[in-house]
Structure 1
Amino acid sequence: MADNIASLIKFSQLCEVFDKTCMLKKQEKSAPLSLFIKEYKDKALNLRKENPNALISFYPALRLILPQLERERAAYGLKEFTLAKRIIKILCLPPQGGDAIRLTSFKSSGNTNIKDFADAAYWILRKHFLDSSGVSILQVNEYLNSISQLNADNNPRGVDEELHNLFRCTNADEQKWLIRIILKDLKLGMGQDRILKLYHPDAVDLFTVNNSLSIVCDTLSDLTVRLHEIEVSMFSPFRPMLSQRCDPVQFKKVFSNNPRLYIENKFDGERFQLHMDNNVFKFFSRNGFDYTSTYGANYSTGGYTPLLKNAFKRHVRNVILDGEMMGWNKKTNQFGSKGMDFDVKHLKPHNVYQPCFCVFDIIFLNDQVLSNKPLCDRLLLLNTIINPVQGVIVTSHRMEATSEQEVIDCLNRSMDREEEGIVFKDVKSLYKSNDLAIPDKVPSEYCSFAKIASGLSNDELKILDEKLGPHWKKKNEGNPEDFGIYWGKEKPDLWIPPNKSCVLLVRGSELVRSADFNTKYTLRFPRILKIRLDKPIYDCLSLSELEELAGTKAVQKLSKRHIELSDLEVVEKEKKIRRRYVPAEIKPVEAKSDILSGYEFCVLSGYEDWGKDDVEISIRERGGSVVLVERSTTLCILAGDDHPRINICKQQNGQCDVVKLEWLRNIINTEEFTLYTPLHMYHICKKTRNRFLGEYDKYGDSYTKNITEEDVPNIIESVKQSVIKNQLPRLIPLNVTNFRKIMPIFHHLRLDIYDMKWL
């Protein structure tokens, strides 16, 4: 009689569920898996009736369905390339043969039908493995346990043999899913939370607390039983309570409900929890990974725990502490940061840095869970159990704030010291696991925000090149939108998939609106401060957070001043009117003529003796109108000097003419309106260019009107520019002496050189 339900469920049944799920639409994907879970549980209950001692947990199946959440099985040591090499070895493929190359270079194959490495391997494996021996879910887990243990024992030959044994009892379709399980990415098109909720409505909450699929399956085996309270337990990891980003306007609302706050400096380390029971220790990271083997399980093992020998008071039997593991520089007696060249999770004794645990909360003490006690009570207990040791274990320094100004002062001091920031906490808050958390999942969309070219040293550029170099794609190589990347008008020459990229710490002088980037905002004078290889890509600034910042006065000038009390005032947003269609707010002027009546102008700049404001007044005095930004009814843009907008109009082929201000000055001086000619232009739009082609030659000389003395210097300049453009062997100086020598060039000019007395 079977004693484990997992031995009665074939792995092929689970593979069929995976295949069906992949083929269904997003809203229908839950059905096959939901039915599988129900049938599994029904068989389990029947087995329990036959054998009261039978194991009926869903865990053996769930750890295959959600391999990315597996915590109890160590790493397999198998990635895409190493798997490719082992499959080539198992199948005895020629290393330079077509199938071997398709395995090792599947990404560059160009075959759009190949979704991932498992897909590429399937089409090769199906030639060699047709039948399945009906391997069960239990047997698959045993094989995977063995591969994991052999890898931990540094036995690559044993890994090869066990992988070969697993492949011999499965067919190609099963092997495709085995590869995805080993690579921890099934590509089902369903999020982990959705799958957990299919098992039990409270499964997400429980997993959030303890990061253990086995505990989820054992605790929530009955759908009719709901989880009303989740307790923290000794030596069982849980997701810590996380902070939430908050801008000054949001803080105004928070402070009004919490007149007493604790303020702490934000640490730039690795979130850790320390469990100790009768001098036996365990250390867990934020995501539930066990680092006890690194830090030490007792006072005589590891690189950190021996330093804690006298750190706890005598009355402390067991305790769970929440804090940040920082790197302490033993030479300078200062903390380092995650952006520096060390990993606090893997520090060696000879390293200049050693781990230092900065404690800011206590969750469990002497067999009592403290999560339901207010923060102020928890911290009172924390102060009674630790003997702080510099560079080893310390408690977070905090101050109590009862006014907004005190919080602002703390924030400004943190800014002056270029620290990570500050954290403020309600003194009455309870400890809620994973509360206010940023989800540990990759965003589906990424927006362009800024263009940055400075801030990194040569060494930092080398680090960045090593990280990103192999993954750059050319502009026309692939579709960035397939990776969720969206540009604005500015498009780069190279791009990189977000999952191959990294987070940068960037500073700018000002946050401004921009139509060039997808975020609609950008930074002025941006520069890179740090490469944050320690941060996952989902930890970058989100679009909603950027928009919140953009609505805060304090970020308009990012590096010019401190936060002020007035920045916390919540003001009602004014109704936005597009600037493009709003005429300049002007005072009445005295009408002098109507020669510009019906014409609309946009003035970029004036002269020293005729400023921009004076130009606009002159236009209005003569019946014209002025706008701040050109539009379809604008006659032209006027510029008195070399304004940056001129080059922008040329580069972007602007739809409005850019005209020299001298043209308008001539009209005002003569009180006679004439349209501008090619000699007056900085930039010519397409419509005007077509008109000029029928009225003027290439030097700006009219086919129908005589030129004036004022036109000649401009025509001469046009000819000179044409000579330069055509790269004639010698440029002839245009002066009185040699002007007659180049007379043939001007044969098209209808005037007599000997009558030009102005020479």
Structure 2
Amino acid sequence: MSEDEIATKFPNRPQNHSETLKFHELYLTLFDPLAENKKKKTGIGLRGRKDLKPHEVRRQIIDNFIARWRNEVGNDIFPAFRLILCDKDRDRNVYNLKEQKIGKLLVKVMKIDRKSEDGSALIHWKNPRSWQKNAGDFALRCYDIIKKRPMRTTPGDLTISQVNAMLDRLAQGSGEEQQLPIMEQFYNEMCAEELTWLIRIILRAMKVGATEKTFFDAWHPDADALYNVSSSLRRVCWDLWDPNFRLQDDTKGITLMSCFQPQLAQFQKKNMEDTVKAMGGTEFWIEEKLDGERMQMHFDGRNFEWWSRKAKEYTHLYGETQTEGAIARFTGSAFNRNVKSIILDGEMITWDPVMDTIVGFGTLKTAAIETNNNPHGQGHRPLFRVFDILYLNGKCLVDYSLSDRRKALERAVKDVPRRLEIHPYTPANTAREIESELRKVIASASEGLVIKKPESAYRLNDRNDSWIKVKPEYMTEFGESLDLLVIGGYWGQGSRGNILASYLCGLRLDGNYLKPGDPKVKYWSFCKVGGGFTANDYKLIEHNTHGHWKDWAPGKGPDFIELAGGPREYERPNVWIPPEKSFVIEVKAAQVSNSDQFRTGFTLRFPRLKNIRSDKSWDSALTISDFLRLKNEAVEAEEEKKLELEIRKGRAKRIKKELKVAGGDAVPEFVGEPTPTQVDDVKPLFEGHSFFVMSDSISPKTPKAEIEALIKANGGKIYQNIREDPKAHLIGDRNTVKIAAVKKANQRDIIRPHWVFDCLQHRYILPLEPDRYVLHALPETAEEIQHNIDEFADSYARNVEVDELKQILDGMTVSDEKSSLSQEVMHSEEIKEMGELPGLIFRDSMVYFPTDMCLPKIMVEFAGGKVSETLEEDTLTHIVVHGVEDAERARKKVAECKIPRVVSEMWVRESVKAKTLLDEDRFVI
């Protein structure tokens, strides 16, 4: 804001009669005393009184500072408040400086070798091994290092106004070249204590033990109310400089074109019943909690202003008039013709018009810019979902009930589809209805729910029980309980500094996941767990693992751990631990979600520690195969729960299913041929191929996450956006909204997941086939793939299974004449003499099939063999079975008979493929 704009907007701003205080007075008389008082349970007043409580001492410290400022400086306290309440100052740009970047600047300012102990301590500030004190508190770590080599040993002469001017320049600077000289000036003119508090101001992490409300109340009785309706620290200081001046009631409400502090949702109650009780036992509303950015829209009939929850203005993105911006330009039909002015509260989200679905929050700014450049394009776009109206035609509505505000909203605003829409809600009365809605949002990977009381008023900058959020991470009814092995750790910060505060868990590779050359024990990174630990948990972990943690050197991690991202090493831990020295934790999670940050290709959403399993050995934790089996069981359990609900509706007795903990029992070996959930130990099959999986598989029933994991484990690349790679294979098996949109656009083929499974089974990329592999095909694709099957729909490129062969045979129409001719030719002496042909390799075999195996039977007969219908045949040579269980049953039935061989059906298949009779010993079961 320029000086001219300031003079126009604040004509009565106060003027100080003297220079501001020195910067060091802030920490000597305010910051340090407050921080010291924060540690005490009982207070000692500034005059030695021992009967004061800590909150009374806190107020006394602040009152004394404000009184001194008024007396020695004047009534304009804004220069001091923008340093004291630095996180509330919206007039200064962000510095784009985090701890590590500040550490690198200080290393250069102090001319420290970055590989030295001090240099490493500044850059790797969370690591307690590089420095024995103050790990996790970056500012204190800086203090320990600066005090060794200070330019000043006494406080400097910089004033508060000078520091503000330098911080303005620091915020305006872009990159190290412009910011380094300013940091050098601070270092030259401040002592170590001053620099410590300056770093906290830059990081906007003061933590002095007093909130902005405490400072506001000490400054003026109406300061907090004015900040709630204006979000302006400057206005609080300049409009309310006189303690005797009081705001009128009508000026305490929100005003048009002035950002306010919105109402926030209260945290989740312990259980659903408590949430229902908080609603007063009457009807409540359930809204989906959207994954976007909280946004308020102001419109005065001509111009718009858009503000985020943190009072950042986005008018340049979303539009100032109805002829510009990513949203404003589409609002021509949004407002009733009687609307002269309006303020709306809602969520700005990203929408994919092709898939007709919400996209993750991280793409919002990019989508707004793209929409401004191409307003009617088919790319991602911002969508404003409105859930409240707070101002209409000059009247503030915050004191009206939510139901009354909703009626006003529906009369004043009309939906502009996929641009500006009124957010829907579901009326409810019971905890069961909340649970049902929560299941829906978990299934769609949404944020959660917000439960609202219809008769409640709107409370600015407040959390109360009239709005309560319900998010999956708070639930105990959902998700899996998993036994996971810890393979790495991350150093904490703040109150958890100097300890390993969170842990990397992995899944052990087993079965066909282990490749030639892999270590015998190998783990893929799976999830990061940092919630649910108590102080005693950390002590127990430290006691049991002391001396076993090893530093992770970038690019030189242990060979038994594989992270995602290749050389970039996503989610790289600070330290690692050998499996046999580690420990098992029981983890609760809301659901599994896809993630490129972990090697498994998926991770846990909202993981939280449930228990440390001291009774479990490291090799009993969850494996890859365990997890995939668990996912299938979860799908079945969901279906069972739906059935259970139907039974409950019929007032039948509900049977509670015992909770199972995965990873605790031994894993059975795989039997027979690989299933679609296994990965063979061959060169990555899908290397060079990319995929966008749009739905789960209907047959075989396989979750979307598992399909993606199979593809990634076999070298394929997964995208979550259809436009990221125009050559990506689109995989889908259900007529979802996304798939319907692709069909309607008719620009891409959609392949069924069965193609992925068959490719893995045959170990090569199969050509597409109509019906079996293609859900939707472009005309040119449909014509091309017809050449991959014969007239009976039999594939030219792959083996067919029994059920499929039955369908093919049922569709064939072969005349009796041809059939008899075939038999005649088959048994002719001339053909029998040509024994080297595969058609006669079984001519000396009499084979019995205890189960129905259509294709192997045909192979045996075609190749000159005979099929027995009973076990009593004297000339019987072989029994062909599916697997071990069939073999055991067959042996029991023929215990008194002389049976040369009990072999797998693969003996038949492989003999035909090799065109010779193979040694049965290789196929004995």
Instruction: State the TM-score, normalized to the length of structure 1.
Output: 0.54
- The match for 2:273 is 249
Q: CA deviation at 1:194?
A: 5.0
- The match for 1:433 is 460
1: CA distance between counterparts of 2:444 and 2:136?
48
Aligned amino acid, residue 61 of structure 1: A
User: Within the alignment, does 1:147 sit opposite 2:170 as a pair?
Assistant: yes
- The match for 2:102 is 83
State the Cα deviation string for residues 511-558 of structure 1 (Å, max 9, x = none): xxxxx98xxx975x975246799xxxxx979999xxxxxxxxxxxx98
1: CA distance between counterparts of 2:257 and 2:325?
17
- The match for 1:214 is 234
1: CA distance between counterparts of 2:103 and 2:287?
50
User: Within the alignment, does 1:135 sit opposite 2:168 as a pair?
Assistant: no
2: CA distance between counterparts of 1:478 and 1:292?
44
Q: CA deviation at 1:183?
A: 1.6
User: Would you say the 8 A contact 2:126–2:492 is kept in 1?
Assistant: no
Q: CA deviation at 1:188?
A: 3.1
State the Cα deviation string for residues 580-612 of structure 1 (Å, max 9, x = none): xxxxxxxxxxxxxxxxxxxxxxxxxxxxxxxxx
Q: CA deviation at 1:221?
A: 4.5
The alignment-based identity, stated in percent, is 26
- The match for 1:110 is 131
User: Would you say the 8 A contact 1:249–1:567 is kept in 2?
Assistant: no
1: CA distance between counterparts of 2:98 and 2:419?
37
SS at match of 1:84: helix
User: Within the alignment, does 1:74 sit opposite 2:96 as a pair?
Assistant: no
User: Within the alignment, does 1:267 sit opposite 2:290 as a pair?
Assistant: yes
State the Cα deviation string for residues 624-670 of structure 1 (Å, max 9, x = none): xxxxxxxxxxxxxxxxxxxxxxxxxxxxxxxxxxxxxxxxxxxxxxx
Change (3 A) 1:313 1:167: farther
User: Within the alignment, does 1:234 sit opposite 2:259 as a pair?
Assistant: no
Which range moves more in the overlay, 380-389 or 478-487? 478-487
- The match for 1:391 is 418
Change (3 A) 1:346 1:129: farther
Q: CA deviation at 1:66?
A: 2.6
2: CA distance between counterparts of 1:447 and 1:400?
21
Change (3 A) 1:89 1:325: same
One of 185, 191, 203 as aligned partner of 1:183:
203
Change (3 A) 1:307 1:484: same
- The match for 1:528 is 592
User: Would you say the 8 A contact 1:6–1:56 is kept in 2?
Assistant: no
Aligned amino acid, residue 7 of structure 1: E
Change (3 A) 1:144 1:40: same
One of 159, 167, 189 as aligned partner of 2:179:
159
How do residues 353-432 of structure 1 correspond to structure 2 at under 5 angstroms?
353-398=380-425, 423-432=450-459
Change (3 A) 1:559 1:146: farther
Q: Aligned-pair RMSD on alpha carbons?
A: 5.2
- The match for 2:11 is none
Change (3 A) 1:13 1:349: same
1: CA distance between counterparts of 2:82 and 2:492?
34
User: Within the alignment, does 1:61 sit opposite 2:83 as a pair?
Assistant: no
State the Cα deviation string for residues 193-219 of structure 1 (Å, max 9, x = none): 555555556655654554433344345
User: Would you say the 8 A contact 2:399–2:457 is kept in 1?
Assistant: yes
Where does the alignment leave 5 or more consecutive residues of structure 2 unmatched?
1-13, 44-53, 372-377, 469-473, 503-529, 552-569, 572-583, 598-604, 611-636, 650-925
- The match for 1:285 is 308
1: CA distance between counterparts of 2:607 and 2:220?
33
Aligned amino acid, residue 26 of structure 1: K
2: CA distance between counterparts of 1:193 and 1:417?
39
Q: CA deviation at 1:63?
A: 2.2
Aligned amino acid, residue 318 of structure 1: S
2: CA distance between counterparts of 1:405 and 1:485?
30
State the Cα deviation string for residues 110-168 of structure 1 (Å, max 9, x = none): 3225673333333436532335552221221121122212x3xx364333333333444
Change (3 A) 1:406 1:283: same
User: Would you say the 8 A contact 2:150–2:191 is kept in 1?
Assistant: no
Which range moves more in the overlay, 64-73 or 185-194? 185-194
Change (3 A) 1:62 1:484: farther
Aligned amino acid, residue 110 of structure 1: W
How do residues 501-650 of structure 1 correspond to structure 2 at under 5 angstroms?
527-529=591-593, 561=641
Change (3 A) 1:33 1:561: same
1: CA distance between counterparts of 2:60 and 2:463?
33
Change (3 A) 1:526 1:56: closer
SS at match of 1:134: coil
User: Within the alignment, does 1:332 sit opposite 2:355 as a pair?
Assistant: yes
How do residues 678-717 of structure 1 correspond to structure 2 at under 5 angstroms?
none
- The match for 1:119 is 140
Change (3 A) 1:267 1:19: closer
Aligned amino acid, residue 415 of structure 2: P
- The match for 2:775 is none
State the Cα deviation string for residues 692-732 of structure 1 (Å, max 9, x = none): xxxxxxxxxxxxxxxxxxxxxxxxxxxxxxxxxxxxxxxxx
2: CA distance between counterparts of 1:415 and 1:99?
47
Q: CA deviation at 1:419?
A: 5.8
Q: CA deviation at 1:106?
A: 4.2
User: Would you say the 8 A contact 2:305–2:314 is kept in 1?
Assistant: yes
Change (3 A) 1:268 1:158: closer
Aligned amino acid, residue 20 of structure 1: P
User: Would you say the 8 A contact 2:126–2:497 is kept in 1?
Assistant: no
One of 40, 45, 57 as aligned partner of 1:26:
40
SS at match of 2:307: strand
State the Cα deviation string for residues 337-392 of structure 1 (Å, max 9, x = none): 54xx6346765417832110111111012222111223333223222333421110
2: CA distance between counterparts of 1:238 and 1:567?
47
1: CA distance between counterparts of 2:225 and 2:273?
31
1: CA distance between counterparts of 2:220 and 2:647?
49
Change (3 A) 1:192 1:254: closer
Where does the alignment leave 5 or more consecutive residues of structure 1 unmatched?
48-53, 441-445, 455-464, 503-515, 534-538, 545-556, 569-759
SS at match of 2:383: strand
User: Would you say the 8 A contact 1:37–1:199 is kept in 2?
Assistant: no
Change (3 A) 1:418 1:342: closer
Aligned amino acid, residue 403 of structure 2: C
User: Within the alignment, does 1:4 sit opposite 2:52 as a pair?
Assistant: no
Aligned amino acid, residue 355 of structure 1: P
